[in-house]
Structure 1
């Protein structure tokens, strides 16, 4: 427990502090230990402060999920900016980012997601995440292929489904990260190259 009283921070800094503290709780103790009360205690703030920022436990878990996702999207966009505009290169970068995300976030990401299964707010948020990645992939691949936006969107949905399946295999130790990355990149190229 943090016995030092929390100094007054601007709201955005306090939220960042609470997010980092919540991530530490999930990493060290698991999602079952993460409550708004436990967060407040560990961060050295009052419960009303934690409730003011996140409202509910679901709100807190979604905020954590958003933070982890935002970091991954920023890394992917940065990598794409430095990539040659060739289908094979973009496919490789997207695939590497997808698998690396799963490994880097590992148990935290999946524990947070699992803790919110069946939660209506989380279901809507997860669909929003998928839609965001589909749009990001469409934007990355559109200049490289001759497909309507609708046809490209469907293929990008399929890319995410394939990435999900390969990532599960990787996390279960059935395939190495490099093999999963190469498999996803080759699928992307095969699905999109004919339309290049």
Structure 2
């Protein structure tokens, strides 16, 4: 006997589709995620998926944005619980960054699938700016650097964080080693030149 599909609000349906998309990427990689495979896995018609995302890049961008929002929220929440010392702020930022890298391994796969997409390039620049600003705001009380110099160092540290996250996901570093390395880089970048 066939069951009647549950009618969800547009936002609830979008969330359901994105949850299903994450599951597909985790099990099959980004190459396994298409609008058709998403519709089949979510148990909805293809037009519903097309209506929400339009194209495969549109779906991947929506998924990437969602993961980014969760990542940024986790870092912001972690910073609220950080102690007042610079090394504690740096450790909390580092731990939150790598916890997200471990909890959301599909982030890298989706990013790779969107390489060369102009919207993805713009989104990554927007994300980098946002993360650099969050980091700089958290670190400004611990640095005598001018605001732009501190922000630029945060951009550099984020590049290093991405490289360390790759080592972590390739199991060439432990989470403890990754957090320690990034914490040291952050703290080391707070110093002004003599």
Query: 1:144 matched to which residue of 2?
Result: 142
- Alpha-carbon spacing, 1:4–1:32, altered in 2? closer, same or farther (3 Å): farther
Q: Any gaps of 5 or more consecutive residues in structure 2?
A: none
Alignment of 1:66 onto 2:53:
no
- Alpha-carbon spacing, 1:4–1:44, altered in 2? closer, same or farther (3 Å): farther
Q: Any gaps of 5 or more consecutive residues in structure 1?
A: none
Q: How do residues 29-40 of structure 1 correspond to structure 2 at under 5 angstroms?
A: 29-40=28-39
* 1:106-146 Cα shifts (integer Å, max 9, x gaps): 2x112111111111111111111111111111111122222
Q: How do residues 25-174 of structure 1 correspond to structure 2 at under 5 angstroms?
A: 25-106=24-105, 108-174=106-172
**Contact 1:5 / 1:45 at 8 angstroms: preserved in 2?**
no
Deviates more, 1:164-173 or 1:125-134: 164-173
Instruction: Using the TM superposition, give the Cα deviation of residue 168 of structure 1 relative to its aligned residue in structure 2, in angstroms.
Output: 2.1
TM-score, scaled relative to structure 1: 0.90
Q: Measure the CA separation in 2 of the matches of 1:146 and 1:158.
A: 18
**Contact 1:92 / 1:181 at 8 angstroms: preserved in 2?**
yes
**Contact 1:92 / 1:185 at 8 angstroms: preserved in 2?**
yes
- Alpha-carbon spacing, 1:33–1:175, altered in 2? closer, same or farther (3 Å): closer
* 1:16-62 Cα shifts (integer Å, max 9, x gaps): 01101111111222222211122122222222211111111111111
RMSD: 1.7
Q: Measure the CA separation in 1 of the matches of 2:139 and 2:5.
A: 47
SS in 2 for 1:9: coil
Instruction: Using the TM superposition, give the Cα deviation of residue 171 of structure 1 relative to its aligned residue in structure 2, in angstroms.
Output: 2.5
Q: Measure the CA separation in 2 of the matches of 1:58 and 1:50.
A: 13
SS in 1 for 2:171: coil
Instruction: Kindly tell me the number of residue pairs found equivalent between the two proteins.
Output: 192
Query: 1:182 matched to which residue of 2?
Result: 180
